[in-house]
């Protein structure tokens, strides 16, 4: 495998420029530039719908050595707007590989850049915060720098964007339980990952995956024993309709579990605010404290927003759902990583317990959800 020597440039909205070589498709792409710290799992990262609208900078220097395969994708396509790597592998060295990452990027029309100091880009984003950017490769790399910067600054910021309709399924579908069935589970697809659905099916749920546009009536029509809100991209502050839907679900008394975007929406439904983090949490090595047990979990993350709720105390839900506590906290920056309602059957975490890719420290959360559902079923038997 040989790579082109076509030029490329990464331009940040503050005017910072990084010259490199084209990687993947040629052309121009725009998005919010963020960095991901995982050393493995690049295929899962690329196919995670939560990365829609973002140009992802990989901090690991060597990318592509294991190629790509048909088993590891977390969705039906690559979602990143652009891809930034330092040293793309020229050799695919894995018995599971069906092709190269470079070819997959080209086939998916994903514009990338290689050969730049990704540590320098990461430090810039860490100091200045995530910002809009653009990759200009091939002939577009020769565009006037002022024109490139103007194009970048004209792009839509992530704050205020609702991307759920871009990543959600358009039609509902069912994944049968792969263990003894405990009932129907309504999953609101806000950008759900395949591994999450498989974990839920393995816990005995008949998984009904629903479009993000469904109403409360549609959810109740499948007679669910519980409801799950998935991960996804965008600003939770721009998802009032989903908050209204979740509020109706909580009033029904149905058990609820949310991850990532679902955690932020639970926070809003309970009456708390959300805010944008300076550069977010993205990677598979984030330390999180389980407040109840004191156990520290190494976890997989991909989020740029967080819930604004008081840590270290039980508080009353501003929306009238009783007592709420912060269940998990990020040890790097003390950001809220989980919520647990004490008077209704609802909890959520900000990180990814399906761990694709990543450590499996948090798989128990799927078991906790199953136990909560069975407990509620027993209470109403």
Show which residues are catalytic. 260, 352, 354
Distance CA 64, CA 85 (A): 9
Nearest-CA neighbor of 351 among 284, 292, 294? 284
Distance CA 214, CA 224 (A): 14
Quick count: other Cβ atoms within 10 Å of Cβ 363?
Answer: 12
Q: Do residues 373 and 381 lie in contact, with contact meaning Cβ atoms separated by under 8 Å?
A: no
CA 110-105-137 angle, to 5 degrees, is 50
Around 379, how many Cα atoms within 13 Å sit in the side-chain half-sphere? 12
CA 157-159-162 angle, to 5 degrees, is 100
Distance CA 166, CA 49 (A): 9
Q: Which residues have CB under 8 Å from 364's CB, separation 6+? A: 353
Tokens (6 digits) for 239 = 């998802």
Nearest-CA neighbor of 220 among 198, 179, 250, 181? 250
Helices (H), the chain: 42-46, 101-107, 118-128, 145-153, 164-167, 194-202, 216-221, 240-251, 261-269, 364-379
In this structure, what DSSP letter does residue 288 have? Answer: E
Q: Given the structure tokens 């105390």, which residue do they identify?
A: 313
């Amino acid at each position: 495998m040989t790579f082109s020597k076509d030029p490329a440039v990464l331009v940040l909205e503050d005017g910072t420029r990084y010259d490199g070589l084209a990687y993947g498709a040629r052309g121009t792409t725009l998005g919010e530039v963020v960095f991901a710290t995982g050393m493995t799992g690049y295929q899962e990262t690329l196919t995670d719908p939560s990365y829609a609208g973002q140009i992802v900078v990989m901090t690991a220097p060597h990318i592509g050595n294991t190629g790509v395969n048909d088993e590891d994708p977390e969705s039906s396509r690559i979602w990143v707007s652009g891809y930034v790597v330092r040293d793309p592998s020229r050799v695919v060295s894995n018995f599971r590989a069906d092709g190269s990452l470079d070819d997959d990027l080209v086939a998916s029309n994903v514009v990338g850049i290689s050969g730049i100091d990704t540590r320098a880009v990461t430090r810039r984003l860490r100091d200045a915060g995530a910002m809009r950017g653009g990759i200009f490769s091939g002939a577009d790399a020769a565009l006037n720098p002022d024109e490139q910067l103007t194009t970048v600054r004209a792009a839509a910021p992530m704050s205020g964007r609702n991307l759920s309709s871009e990543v959600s399924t358009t039609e509902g579908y069912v994944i049968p339980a792969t263990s003894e069935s405990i009932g129907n589970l309504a999953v609101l697809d806000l950008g759900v990952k395949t591994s999450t659905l498989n974990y839920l099916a393995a816990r005995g749920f008949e998984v009904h995956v629903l479009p993000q546009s469904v109403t409360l009536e549609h959810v109740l029509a499948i007679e669910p024993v519980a409801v799950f809100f998935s991960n996804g991209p965008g600003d939770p502050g721009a998802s009032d309709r989903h908050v209204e839907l979740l509020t109706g679900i909580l009033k029904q008394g149905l058990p609820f579990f949310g991850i990532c975007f679902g955690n932020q929406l639970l926070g809003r439904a309970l009456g708390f605010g959300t805010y944008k983090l300076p550069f977010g949490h993205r990677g598979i090595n984030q330390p999180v404290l389980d407040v109840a047990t004191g156990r520290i979990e190494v976890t997989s993350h991909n989020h740029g927003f967080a819930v604004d709720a008081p840590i270290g105390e039980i508080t009353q839900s501003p929306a009238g759902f009783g007592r709420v506590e912060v269940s998990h906290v990020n040890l790097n920056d003390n950001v809220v990583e989980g919520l647990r309602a004490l008077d209704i059957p609802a909890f959520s975490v900000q990180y990814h317990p399906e761990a694709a890719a990543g450590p499996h420290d948090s798989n128990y959360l799927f078991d906790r959800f199953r136990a909560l559902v069975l407990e509620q079923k027993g209470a109403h038997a």
